[in-house]
Structure 1
Amino acid sequence: MSNATLDGAPIALEDAYQRAAQILGSAKFPVVAGLGTDAAGARAAILLAERLRGAYDHLACDDVFADLDVTRSFGMFVTTPNEARVRCDVVLLVGPGLPERWPALFERLALDQPAYFNNGAPRKVLWLGPKRNEAKVEGVEIETLAATPQTLPGLLGALRARVGGRPISLEGAAAKKIDALAATLKAARFGGVVWSAAAIDGLAVEALQGLVTELNATTRFTGVPIGARSGASGVVQVSGWMTGFPPRTGFGRGYPEHDPWRFDARRLVDSGEADAALWISAYDGEAPAWTRDDVPMITLAPRGASVSLGLYIEVGRPGETHDAVELAQETSSFVLRRAKAPSDTPSVAEAIVEISARFSEEVPC
């Protein structure tokens, strides 16, 4: 059974649903934010935002747009982890903390094994900008080049220049190292670059895609992006097929409009443009980033979430307390994850259905 609180005090679940409906139904411009949920929860949340003529945003949108903005303005080479595992004889890792963001990285890409089409020769693994001691992986020989997130764009630009045979301003040992890395990348039969936009900025993402583009003039090279946290990749897909846009989309004029600045949930709440918020973080109970605490807020989060203000309704964790359809990093496709510990705690989708059923007739639809 789900728990609910109001400003930290227990409240009956039925009363919590009714109060949530009153808060959202009386708002002039509510925002449905967080969206840390599975496909069903994302669909329910977007439909709710549409019904309320509000907006919706995902908590990891800054990371999402580091990749998406490059795709929209420049283009992007990507493939699935499975194809990279089978084909890539050279793998370039870019940025720190990649195993933290995808714990199965080395196992899934089988970096300790040869590529299937490489006649048994070991893969060559390069890593630009790892954390200290992060590149020490049992069974995998990794060639590293130190860099910070701030210097990565310049380093990638230098690599691109040398791949294309153009001069760079570096000299001595640094230039020799860049030339050696460029030669390794150019010699790949099928290369792949792995990165996480949570670890590097949009400029670095654009720089590495420029490098991949340069390499594709003479060989085959592609990318394996690591998706952002809290189900962001799946939510982006759901948003795309429902509205034609990614999150940070609003329905204030009765149809979907996408604007990464206008519909940034943090800006909407802190500026006072949004007069109510539904915050969804079903995976780990991450708190919202806005600073105002005087905007009426409903939080849907799992047990253990630290919620002391506003209305809190406990929901289950996708794939743990209830079956969930999510976009899997391992396959780049939607998969069904069976519940590990099934319970009767409502899912995000079920909680939103209960709230929506209690709206008055005056709510726009």
Structure 2
Amino acid sequence: MDSTLQRAAELLSQARLPVFGGLFTDVKGAAAALSLARKLGGVVDHAASEGTSRAARVMRETGATPASFGEVRNRADTIVVIGNMPRTRDPKLLDKLFPARATLPRPGDNKRELIVVGAKKGKVPSGVRVTEIGGKNALPELVALLAAAVREGPFDIRDSALAKRILSAGERLRNSAFAVFVYDPAELDEPVLHTVLEAVRHLVKTTRAATLSLSAPGNGEGVNLCSTWTCGLPVRTSFAGDVPENNIWAYEAGRLLRSNEADALVWIDALDGEEATPPTRSFRGVPAVVLSSRPVKAGRDDVVIEVGAAAADHDAAVYLPQIAGIGMVKATAANSKRPTVAEVLSRIEALIDAKGAA
């Protein structure tokens, strides 16, 4: 391990612009990665940041009214699930959002209802009324049609049965005491996100409405929060200048590696149950320091370090959607023989400091 860490320190200390990617790790691992990136003038980017960056940009432009998972589960009387990804990522999502027994009093007198947009109904908890808005139309078109129905605006569609369901859904949303739109931002393009938020803004003029955006995989929200409280900016931030700079296009890890602007990569994939999409072949030629809890096919110039999986081999602080915040998760099978990401990066930083002092 000592010689491996020394090789990693030498590789990174020689880099002009190292990129810290993947970042599937716990909060301590993220903090260590940020510390090393600041020291080396590098860039940080999470493997699942595309969706969160897009959603953040739209929110900055238009504003939003997000709701916590618990608030939606306990209070919402109408839930709109958009696209396939919410239930693909969490097959038990509807069971969680529609518990068998009410836990808290809900506003209004409506029975709870589910509206599914651009996806098959699938298995639905018993007693929940469902309206399907689907068919051959693309998801962006379906979202736009529903938004038009919410505003009671005109729209034209050949499928009369679908048009009737859309009009009914629009009326239901206007008459809801608390309507919530649930989606995965990684599945929706910016115009679709704008359309969803515009529908919510229209509804909140007369009733309560909100959005529930699924958190990014790989502790993406936790890493983003850690980055924000560390330097005031989310991921896709560069420390190469005098002050940190955030740019969701310029500092996207894949773009930097493909363009050869980055000359070293630190790839971190060490989280229980979730795997970061590894660098593609187009990244080859850029030497990498890979910290992984899984077997890795490494390049000739890569330094691979086996680390423990957060929340499996060691306790981990990660973002928990059910509490909308950071919480501690106990290790499922503690393994003290495998170092944590934070321990490895801290040792590499110490070696770089020692080399600089010498």
* TM score, norm. by length of structure 1: 0.89
- How far does residue 182 in structure 1 lie from its aligned partner after superposition? 0.1
The AA in structure 2 aligned to 1:50 is R
State the match for 1:18 in structure 2.
Answer: 6
Answer with 247-256 or 111-120: which moved more.
111-120
Shift of 1:152: 2.4
User: Alignment partner of 1:198: what SS?
Assistant: helix
Once the two structures are superposed, residues 173-214 of structure 1 have per-residue CA deviations (whole angstroms, 9 ceiling, x without a partner) of 333222111011111111111111232222222211111111
Instruction: Assess, with a 3 A threshold, how the Cα gap between structure 1 residues 147 and 254 changes in structure 2: closer, same or farther.
Output: farther
- What is residue 256 of structure 1 aligned with on the other side? 244
What is the correspondence of 1:82-121 to structure 2 with a 5 Å cutoff? 82-113=70-101, 116-117=105-106
| Structure 1 match to 2:350 | 357
Shift of 1:338: 0.9
| Correspondence for 1:126 | 115
Match of 2:152 in 1: 165
Q: 1:223-266 CA distances to partner (integer Å, 9 max, x unpaired)? A: 11111111111111111111111111101113201111221111
Q: CA separation of 1:71/1:121 partners in 2, compared to 1, >3 Å: closer, same or farther?
A: closer
Q: Deviations over 1:29-85 (max 9, x none)?
A: 111111111111111111111000111111111111221111111111111111111
Of residues 254, 270, 274, the one that matches 1:266 is 254
**What amino acid does structure 1 have at the position aligned with 2:179?**
G
Structure 2 counterpart of 1:154: 141
> Could you report, residue by residue, the CA deviation over 1:104-157 in whole angstroms, capped at 9, with x for unpaired residues?
4223323555573258864101110114xx522342443211167x83233222
Note if contact 1:234-1:326 (Cα within 8 Å) is conserved in structure 2.
Answer: yes
Q: Which residue of 2 aligns with 1:240?
A: 228
Superposition pairs of residues 1-365 of structure 1, within 5 angstroms: 13-113=1-101, 116-117=105-106, 122-131=111-120, 135-139=122-126, 140-146=128-134, 151-170=138-157, 172-283=160-271, 284=275, 286-289=277-280, 291-307=282-298, 309=300, 310-344=302-336, 345-360=338-353, 363=356
Secondary structure at the counterpart of residue 283 of structure 2? coil
Q: 8 Å contact 2:24–2:268 — kept in the other structure?
A: yes
Q: 1:181 to 1:363 in 2, by over 3 A?
A: farther
CA contact (8 A) 2:80 2:182 kept: yes
For the Cα contact (< 8 Å) 1:286–1:305, is it kept in 2?
Answer: no
Residue identity opposite 1:124 in structure 2:
E
- 1:26 partner letter: Q
The answer on whether the counterparts of 1:81 and 1:108 sit within 8 Å (CA) in structure 2 is no
CA 1:64–1:290 in 2, change beyond 3 Å: closer, same or farther?
Answer: farther
Aligned length: 349
Structure 2: which amino acid aligns with 1:32? F
Gaps of 5+ in 2: none
Contact 2:70–2:322 (CA<8 Å) still a contact in 1?
A: yes
Show structure 1 runs of 5+ residues with no match: 1-12
The 1:105/1:363 distance shift into structure 2, 3 A limit, reads farther
* Structure 1 residue 28, shift from structure 2 partner: 1.2
CA change 1:65–1:119 in 2 (3 A) is: closer
Paired-residue identity, %: 30
